[in-house]
Amino acid sequence: MRDRTLFVLILAGVILLVILNLPEPVSGRLKGFVRDAVAPLQELVVAISRQGQETIKLARGVSQLMSENQRQAGEIARLRLRLNELENLEDETLKLRHLLEFHNRVPRQLIAGTVLGRDASGWWQTLRLDKGANDGVHADMAVTTPEGLIGRVISATARTCDVLLISDPKCKISAIVSRSQAFGIVTGNGVTAQGQPVCRMEFINVDRRHPVQNGDDVVTSGLGGVFPKDLQVGRLENVKVNDSGLYAEADVVIAADLGALDYVFVVVGLSLGAPPAASPAAEAGTP
């Protein structure tokens, strides 16, 4: 019995050592395999979750109608229920139209993706999307929403990809202030205790004739080869300039709501890691 226990412990130790020392390509392939295997289940769970949310919305509507029924005739109740459904549909339609308008407005090729989940360990500010290499998504592609930039793809398997959010301290963006064209680097600064994702922007050699101010819009500069030019990042707050006036830093209030992302767009074709042409699976945008 003691020998068997010892054998199990040694076996577990050996397996753990092998896993910990796997070469990077093998480790990456293994991770990708597990991710792709779990992806359909994640899609199912997300679909069930969204369906559940819709059902709760409808149930709330029905509950309100029941109290109305005590005062009003059945016909009014029926019409209200119908109205409730139509309002839900209208909300959904407006949301989709908003996304479609953005898709058609942006002069870049975009791939629409659904958010499957966030980093399971909770140590990184990342998202997982349901689009991968099979759809033309590769590492170092920018990811955006109609409101603004949200991050970049850091890895892609055949069916999924991981997006590093701009609030992660490892994410750095070359950006400019729209009004003054002041150049700086935006770095993720995590999430506050109130749940607000934050970034910091550092300026070197600020042009004194065009100082940066609170409320200035920040957009991507297009330098660096990952983020396309002129994507909205956010706006400046708490601008601090040092005594020499050459160095400044500020908080950046992120334009996109990183806490409530359902659908996002991967920008194709402008990143260093991207192939020259989009795959057939990529959704066509306005050239």
Partner 1 sequence: MTLLVMLLGLLTGAALQALLPAWPWLGGAQPPILLALVLFYAFAHNRGWMLLCALLAGLLQDALGQVPLGFSCFCFGLAGFAALRYRDDVEEHAWLAQMVFGGLAAAAVNLLLYILLHHADVVVVSFTLALRKTIGAALLGAVLTPLTFRVVISLERQLGERPATHKEAGS
**Binding residues vs partner 1 (CB under 8 A):** 5, 8, 12, 15-16, 19-20, 22, 27, 30-31, 34-35, 38, 41-42, 44-46, 49, 116-124, 126, 128, 154, 162, 168-170, 190-196
In the complex, minimum distance from the CB of residue 266 to partner 1, in angstroms, rounded to a whole number: 18
SS3 assignment, position 164: strand
In the complex, minimum distance from the CB of residue 45 to partner 1, in angstroms, rounded to a whole number: 4
3-state secondary structure 220-255: ECCCCCCCCCCCEEEEEEEEEECCCCCEEEEEEEEC
In the complex, minimum distance from the CB of residue 115 to partner 1, in angstroms, rounded to a whole number: 9
Beta bridge partners, 164, equal 126, 152
Angle at 140 between CA 23 and CA 281, to 5 degrees: 100
Nearest to 110 by CA among 279, 270, 268: 268
In the complex, minimum distance from the CB of residue 204 to partner 1, in angstroms, rounded to a whole number: 21
Q: What is the rounded CA–CA span in Å between residue 145 and residue 257?
A: 9
Q: What is the rounded CA–CA span in Å between residue 48 and residue 58?
A: 15
End-to-end CA, the chain:
70
In the complex, minimum distance from the CB of residue 260 to partner 1, in angstroms, rounded to a whole number: 10
In the complex, minimum distance from the CB of residue 193 to partner 1, in angstroms, rounded to a whole number: 6
| Residue 100 CA: distances (Å) to CA of 94, 127, 186, 283 | 10, 22, 28, 12
Tokens of 178: 């729209």
Q: Are 163 and 271 in contact (CB under 8 A)?
A: no
